[in-house]
Structure 1
Amino acid sequence: MGKGGKGEFTVTVKKEEVVAAVLPLQEHWLPLSNLDLLLPPLDVGVFFCYKNLAATPATGGDGDGSMNFDAMVGSLKKALAQALVTFYAFAGEVVPNSAGEPELLCNNRGVDFVEAFADSELKSLNLYNPDDTIEGKLVPQKKHGVLAVQATSLKCGGLVVSCTFDHRIADAYSANMFLVSWAKMAQPTETTIIHTAPPCKPCFRRSLLSPRRPGSFHPSLDDMYVPVSMLSLRKEPETTSEPDHVISRIYYVAAKELDHMQSLANSNTINGAKRTKLESFCAFLWKMVAASAEGKRASVKMGIVVDGRKRLSNGDKDKEALMGSYFGNVLSIPFGGKPVEELLEMPLSWVTDEVHEFLETAVTEEHFLGLIDWVEAHRPMPGLAKIYCNGSEDGPAFVVSSGQRFPESEVDFGWGKPDFASYHFPWGSDTGYVMPMPSPAGNGDWVVYVHLLKAQVEMIEFKAGHIFKPLTWDYLKY
């Protein structure tokens, strides 16, 4: 693997193998749901950092009660093989069917597992700039199958465990279920029983997302999603001396700053309606991205990912339990677009109201049922969220996905909870991506993964550097 820039280091692959489910599985096809079919072939990364583990008490170590890297990797693989029995979708392959649509072949092909060594200390990793230290080094590139895993030891004795998975097969909610189950099964008390059931058994019942007969959908969905056949071929961008490009950064935002944003957002609310921290944060970001486009005749589009699991339950306790463990994609991306001047001139409270207004269109059962029917009406032609197709020539656009349910503290493989963890999603579009997650400090702060155009990042740091502070090991108190 390559080297980084500032604080460069080398990652050396020591071993590669395939880990399959510990029990034989009956080969079968699992169709993707209509909501899965809205996702292009995107890979999502996630990584977990653990400090020096030399003194970690565990079984199967060096004979002194401590756990070495080989023992930890052995524990990870053993638990992974068990977790794949129930999370068998992650051990399969995506194959096109006769209509050209992707389907999941559940054949227990297995998961590519990489063991590596990084000649760096954990505290030397520049978390603020994951392009330099994480991308292509500590998070694996998925070459085959649905899921890839990498375990990297560092010269300080620390460990980074990371995964890359096919977004067409799982959303973050589904991946979180798997990560927690995998970690629980790696616990010493769990692995003594070879076929321990996972704490959460995934539900693959695609009938939960079946289209209606006859189907129907609101015309507004044609403004949110587009059949791929209707996408015009993009022009190659003109070459400039300093072309803008998308970069990734990780910040932390203090709880008091989030409270202040929310207070400003609620300063003119009517009828006592209160805007959430997420709505307030998104509105603030919307204004920041608009500031980077000041002087340009453009609109700025912002989308927010909505999980439909609770919406589709609609008070039905049985369906609520099934949707609560549903494995797959249950997402929609409503978005709004406003002129640059309007976003800059209006107060945060007004912008937050605009956020709330377009979010309201996608938080109902009917919206998700209609979206399922919209996909059915256009199959086998794939559809795509319009905001993802947005090019820089159309004006700035970005998507926010809340990671507040990120179960960082629960991903304990038997040697303690992570010192830091984050999703890593440079998703290959001109459209930006932002994911706020709870801080491991547990004090109400947020850790924010940002993947935006360089000019937008520079504007955020110039205008709001006191709010978006670079994530450091000093902050994490390592």
Structure 2
Amino acid sequence: MGVKRDFNVKVINTEVVAAMLPMQEHWLPQSNLDLLLPPVDVGVFFCYQNPIISGKPKFWSFESMVSVLKVSLAETLVSYYAFAGELVQNLAGEPEILCNNAGVDFTEAWADVKLKEINFYNPDESIEGKLVPKKKNGVLAVQVTQLKCGGVVLACTFDHRVADAYSANMFLVSWAEIAQSKPLSQLPCYRRSFLFPRRPTYYDPSIDSMYLPISALKQETTNIDHDDQIISRIYYVKSEEINRLQSLVNCNSNTKFTKLKTFSAFLWKTIASGTMEITKSANSKNFKLGIVVNGRSRLLRDGDEEQARVLKGYFGNVVSIPFGDKKVEELKEKSLSWVASEVHEFLERAESKEHFLGLIDWVENHRPEPALARIYATNEEGHAVVVSSGQQFPVRKIEFGWGEAVFGSYHFPWAGKSGYVMPMLSPKGNGDWIVYMHMLKSQVDLVEATASNVFKPLTADYLNLE
């Protein structure tokens, strides 16, 4: 059976789920690294087959699933109380979290489509506005949708200014653990003192090339043709292809490149090469590629086990986005190993304790003016793509009692014109990758035309959906 391109989703019920224990209202300040995030929402969704197919007892009706989700969510919000609050501006005009237990909008819905009929390859058609909720209030919104086959899609949308992907992953794992009456494997930590600026502040001038105040943005905007809007696609990449590319870049290099660096280099070169083939005017243009770096492990003091334990559970944003900026012509003509070396070089600048301490100090020197990563300043000349590693995305751990998720993905159709790519491990556990892409249509077309042997459209057949 093929995909069903047009299906209806009917909202059955919407209510607010708050933390099950009362809490004293208080303010939770944003760290300097939180203040670098623009006001964008990030979605994530998980797909479950009919529990009977998974060999689970018949008592798992949709109503019983919803009940477990709501009760366990209420308990999870006791520890993750920031997700039950609201983001409010303080007197300086900066956002702060009002931890008032206002709760989370929880929507129950029904869709007239079977799980195997959902067009996962094109989430703009099947996921956006249907299965992932639009957050209207607070910091987090949840939607659980029953499908015609008895399967279920669980989706969340959260405010990126409050949590990065690492923090969202912690919350999701904790929610699933509580649903199954398991002890929490990781408690969240809100100790902003770990990210306090130094006195006196100091940062390397290279940070000025990575971040900029909003007031420094150019006023003119880049016009994008109607036919070249940003679109979303989801692919799978076989483990053999990932290993082949990694072997290719490592065979003639003294540096041993990771799979993520290899993948990022391949994507950078592929798009640049295709762009140059289509239009010679692109030869002199620059093409930026950034990679999101998690700073938790970089901020550790040697031998400080207590700090390591706390930072491992730190809830908030602890990320930096270093990037490379190269001519399209150069990326095409140079070898893949050379491109991987460039990726390695710009990443090295951010993979240190001093970089993150300097970034914290840089924000302090520019407050209260908002700032953002320069690669997101899309009104600058040239195109840009950001790769965010989702290798820790815990699809197989998000189990509430009725079977493991057969698929899960982030969904980030933000309004900016910089591309966003999230490679994740396949739920099949075989070393394959799932790759979510949100890029210019022309770039997606180039990837499909020139690298179809690597990027395969995600299908129900690949996921073995029944």
TM-score (norm 2): 0.96
Deviation at 1:57, TM superposition (A): 7.4
State the Cα RMSD in Å: 1.5
* Equivalent residue number for residue 239 of structure 2: 255
Please state whether the residue corresponding to 2:227 is helix, strand or coil: coil
Q: Which amino acid aligns with 1:281?
A: F
Aligned equivalents of 2:220 and 2:165: distance in 1? 30
Aligned equivalents of 1:280 and 1:236: distance in 2? 30
* Equivalent residue number for residue 266 of structure 2: 284
The counterpart of 1:266, out of the listed 246, 250, 253, is 250
> What percent of counterpart residues are identical?
60
* Equivalent residue number for residue 29 of structure 1: 27
> Is 1:352 paired with 2:336?
no
* Equivalent residue number for residue 221 of structure 1: 207
Deviation at 1:186, TM superposition (A): 1.0
* Equivalent residue number for residue 393 of structure 2: 406
**For the Cα contact (< 8 Å) 1:411–1:417, is it kept in 2?**
yes
Q: Deviations over 1:323-362 (max 9, x none)?
A: 0000000000000011011000011000000000000000
Query: In the superposition, relative to structure 1, how do residues 57 and 466 fare at CA in structure 2: closer, same or farther (>3 Å)?
Result: closer
Please state whether the residue corresponding to 1:77 is helix, strand or coil: helix
Q: Which amino acid aligns with 1:166?
A: D
Show the 5 A alignment for 1:311-460: 311-315=298-302, 316-391=304-379, 394-460=381-447
Please state whether the residue corresponding to 1:474 is helix, strand or coil: helix
Query: In the superposition, relative to structure 1, how do residues 306 and 343 fare at CA in structure 2: closer, same or farther (>3 Å)?
Result: same
Q: Deviations over 1:418-460 (max 9, x none)?
A: 0100011112111000000001111111000011100101110
Deviation at 1:55, TM superposition (A): 6.5
Please state whether the residue corresponding to 2:330 is helix, strand or coil: helix
Structure 2 stretches lacking a partner, 5+ long: none
Aligned equivalents of 1:142 and 1:285: distance in 2? 32
Deviation at 1:233, TM superposition (A): 1.9
**For the Cα contact (< 8 Å) 2:227–2:441, is it kept in 1?**
no
Please state whether the residue corresponding to 2:231 is helix, strand or coil: strand
Show the 5 A alignment for 1:122-271: 122-187=115-180, 189=181, 198-235=184-221, 237=223, 242-270=226-254
Q: Deviations over 1:255-276 (max 9, x none)?
A: 1100111111112212xx2011
Aligned equivalents of 2:94 and 2:252: distance in 1? 48
**For the Cα contact (< 8 Å) 2:16–2:105, is it kept in 1?**
yes
Please state whether the residue corresponding to 2:429 is helix, strand or coil: coil
* Equivalent residue number for residue 92 of structure 1: 85
Q: Which amino acid aligns with 2:416?
A: S
> Is 1:66 paired with 2:59?
yes
Q: Deviations over 1:240-266 (max 9, x none)?
A: 5x5311100000001110011111111
* Equivalent residue number for residue 61 of structure 1: none
Q: Deviations over 1:361-408 (max 9, x none)?
A: 0000000000000000000001100001123x6112000000000111
**For the Cα contact (< 8 Å) 1:437–1:447, is it kept in 2?**
yes
**For the Cα contact (< 8 Å) 1:52–1:156, is it kept in 2?**
yes
Deviation at 1:136, TM superposition (A): 0.7
Aligned equivalents of 1:384 and 1:9: distance in 2? 38
**For the Cα contact (< 8 Å) 1:279–1:352, is it kept in 2?**
yes
TM-score (norm 1): 0.93
Please state whether the residue corresponding to 2:69 is helix, strand or coil: helix
Query: In the superposition, relative to structure 1, how do residues 308 and 236 fare at CA in structure 2: closer, same or farther (>3 Å)?
Result: closer
Please state whether the residue corresponding to 1:34 is helix, strand or coil: coil
Aligned equivalents of 1:465 and 1:422: distance in 2? 21
Deviation at 1:54, TM superposition (A): 4.4
* Equivalent residue number for residue 108 of structure 2: 115
Deviation at 1:131, TM superposition (A): 0.4
Aligned equivalents of 1:427 and 1:72: distance in 2? 30
Deviation at 1:56, TM superposition (A): 6.5
Deviation at 1:464, TM superposition (A): 0.5
**For the Cα contact (< 8 Å) 2:4–2:117, is it kept in 1?**
no
Deviation at 1:236, TM superposition (A): 6.4
Deviation at 1:125, TM superposition (A): 0.1
**For the Cα contact (< 8 Å) 2:52–2:58, is it kept in 1?**
no
Aligned equivalents of 1:251 and 1:236: distance in 2? 28
Deviation at 1:322, TM superposition (A): 0.8
Q: Deviations over 1:207-245 (max 9, x none)?
A: 00000000000000000000011112233627x5x5311
> Is 1:11 paired with 2:4?
no
Structure 1 stretches lacking a partner, 5+ long: 59-63, 191-196
**For the Cα contact (< 8 Å) 1:290–1:344, is it kept in 2?**
yes
Aligned equivalents of 2:404 and 2:11: distance in 1? 25
Q: Deviations over 1:179-221 (max 9, x none)?
A: 011011111x45xxxxxx6332100000000000000000000
